Amino acid sequence: MARDVSVRAPVASPISKVDVVGIPSSDAERSRQFYVDTLGLRPDDKARYEFWVGDTCFAIWQPAQFGIEYQPQANSIVLLHVEDVAAARDELEAKGVQFDGETFDTGVCHMAGFRDPDGNELTLHKRYAPYSNDPPAR
C-alpha cells in the first residue's frame, strides 16, 4: 500500500504575533534595573515591570505572588537580535554581564549566551544566512 506523500497547503494560523514574553523573577526591581539599565530595553510608560524590544513586550512576573516557587526559565531561551554579536557582547561585558562560554557560530548565525540576575537564559543572536523563504539575492 502506497503512502500519501502529497504536499498540503499551509494551514492559516490564528496566531499573528508574540504579544508578551513572560520572564520570571524573584526580585522585580532588580530585574527591571537589569533589563532597562543594563540591556537598554525601553520601559513601558504604563507598566513598571514591562519593557519593549521592537514590538514585543517583555513582562517581569513574580511566581511567589501566585504561590509558585521561583525557578529560572528552563529550556525557553530568548534570542535577542543584535546587528553585531561581538560588539554587543563587549558592551554588556563592560557593564558586568558574564557570558556562558565563547560566542559561537552555528553555521547560520552567531550566538552568545548569558543569564539575567535570576538565572534566566538569554542569547545575543545575529542570523547571517538567509531564511529558506527569503527571495534570492540579486
The pLDDT > 70 percentage for the chain reads: 90
Backbone conformation region of residue 83, classed left if phi is above 0, alpha if psi is from -120 to 50, else beta: alpha
Structure-derived torsion over alpha carbons of residues 28, 88, 106, 116, reported in degrees to the nearest 10: -20
Instruction: Provide DSSP, 83-115.
Output: S-HHHHHHHHHHTTPPBSS--EE-SSEEEEEEE
| Predicted local distance difference test score (pLDDT) of residue 18 | 87
Please give the grid coordinates belonging to residue 38: 543594563
Query: pLDDT per residue over 12-55, tens digit each?
Result: 889 888 899 999 999 999 999 999 999 999 999 999 999 999 99
Domain 20-63+73-127 class in CATH: alpha beta
Query: pLDDT per residue over 113-133, tens digit each?
Result: 999 999 999 999 999 998 887
Residue 37 contacts by C-beta under 8 Å, 6 or more apart in sequence?
Answer: none
